[in-house]
Amino acid sequence: MTPMTSQPGRVHAFADDALGDLDAVGLVEALHAGRVSIPEVVEAAIARAERVDPQLNAIAYRCFDHARVEARAPRDGYFAGVPTFFKDNVDVADLPTGHGADAFTPRPVRATGDFGRMFLATGLVPLGKTTLSEYGFSPTAEHPRLGAVRSPWDPRRTAGASSAGSAALVAAGAVPLAHGNDGGGSIRIPAAVNGLVGLKPSRERLPLDKLYRQMPVKIIADGVLTRSVRDTAAFLREAERVYRALALPPIGDVTRPGRTRLRIAVTTQGSRHHATPEVAELTAKTAGLLEELGHRVEHTDPPLPSWFEQDFLLYWALMAMVVVRTGRREHGPSWDRTRLDSLSLGLDRHARRNLHRVPGAIRRLRRIRQELASYFAAYDVVLTPTLATETPLVGHLDPGLEFEELMERILTWVAYTPLANATGQPAISLPLATTRAGLPQGMMFTADTGREATLLKLAYELEEAHPFARIQDA
């Protein structure tokens, strides 16, 4: 079967089947009403995934038969029977964890990790694992041998990363939501590119697998990619019922826009890179919508310290160095570092050449939230574009490019997303803008630590005032 399209270039699988055009909450309602059955829903999702994946290259591993078995006796939970995918960098029992690489032969793991157990406790039915950039280091998934993950809005373009496969499958209608995690924008970047809602929660809002808990600066947070605000809100509500982050205020059950008018800062400037004219114009339109809704909007200078970009890059490179230097111990004798892509190896070199700077970089990253305390005390929310430029074509961020040129291109594109990873604050990308080329362009909203509810209430209001573009209508 060929993927369905609504106009040339678009790839989606929305159809008159058990999934229809329902989001996850709508699917739960349909299941409870008896309009569809769990086996029908799971079978429809499998068919859709198989239909679009040849063009999107989004699936790393399939466990379709296991999902069919589970559909006949699903686990309990609000999302019981709702099909989904895991990103292929968390452990799920009986599935391999490949981390988007082919530098080793992954084996099925024995036990599900801490995040995976919480995720499954909500009742979701996994169909497999999705493709990411190698170890999540690149904001696009363009592996030299495994291929590129492509946007269903325009397969000539990247689907973003690192949660690329999850975003592509949700946007194309294969499943209503899928897992992602975010260490520098890896939920928000593919959300912005694929016309989705992508919320990076506060640091330690959700459980982390052991590997990520051991990091000296915990920049990674898990979450989901969805097509609606209510799906993201429902997932966080159900996650909180399984795992309560005692150090943070509860999110609760957020189901509607808030009434409080907010103090919102707006900037399109990064520490060194700024938005293109088109992206700046789209951000200004979003700011105008906020003013029409009665919020107090103020255009400000960026809060980023001058040292932030290079310190974050060095920390990012340090993670690559750990992968390169410990690969054989972690993955066994099949490990072959020569099969790592050029970006991973270039980051490793960058870290080794700058090891003397690492302690200072870690110290500054750890205290950045305190340095920005007065800025975030002055505003309830900060609006920036999620990404500084329009979605690039596949190849623009090819990991085989010369390292310095590639890093300049990457840092130009992702000028805004890494800050919330360093501070630990929640940030959400919403599909509020469309470029002249007809592609989604995400707008990002950041709040202070623990204020996910503020972001969700604002997101509901914006979704209601400016309904998100749908790929099946484009």
Catalytic pick among 133, 138, 151, 162: 162
Q: Distance of CA 296 to CAs 378, 381, 427, Å?
A: 12, 10, 19
How much is the pLDDT for 474? Answer: 65
Judge contact between 56 and 150, C-beta under 8 A: yes
Burial 386-422 (b: 16+ CB within 10 A, else e): bbbbbbbebebbbbebeeeebbebbbbbbbbbbbbbb
The token duo for 457 is 């209430």
Apex 137 CA angle, 420 and 343, nearest 5: 140
How much is the pLDDT for 272? Answer: 83
Catalytic pick among 138, 163, 166, 186: 186
How much is the pLDDT for 9? Answer: 87
162 is catalytic: yes
How much is the pLDDT for 302? Answer: 80
Catalytic pick among 87, 129, 200, 457: 87
Rounded to the nearest 10 degrees, the angle between the axes of helix 277-292 and helix 452-465 is 90
CATH topology of domain 24-465: Amidase signature (AS) enzymes (3.90.1300)
β-pair type (142-143, 154-158): unpaired
Judge contact between 381 and 264, C-beta under 8 A: yes
Apex 175 CA angle, 121 and 461, nearest 5: 85
| Residue 86, beta-bridge partner list | 129
6 is catalytic: no
For the entire predicted model, the pTM comes to 0.97
Q: What is the dihedral of CA 382, 383, 389, 391, to 10 degrees?
A: 110
Burial 150-164 (b: 16+ CB within 10 A, else e): bbbbbbebbbbbbbb
- Spans of the chain below 50 pLDDT: 1-6
Burial 103-128 (b: 16+ CB within 10 A, else e): bbebeebeebbbbbbbbbbbbbbbbb
Judge contact between 264 and 298, C-beta under 8 A: yes
Q: List the end-to-end C-alpha distance of the chain, in Å, as a whole number.
A: 21
Please choose, from the candidates 375, 458, 420, 463, the residue with its C-alpha nearest in 3D space to the C-alpha of residue 201.
420
The token duo for 115 is 């995040």
The token duo for 249 is 């205020």
Which phi and psi angles does 160 have, rounded to 5°? 75, -170
Q: How far is CA 86 from the centre of its chain?
A: 12
Judge contact between 421 and 469, C-beta under 8 A: no
210 is catalytic: no
Please choose, from the candidates 116, 128, 127, 125, the residue with its C-alpha nearest in 3D space to the C-alpha of residue 239.
116
Judge contact between 262 and 454, C-beta under 8 A: yes
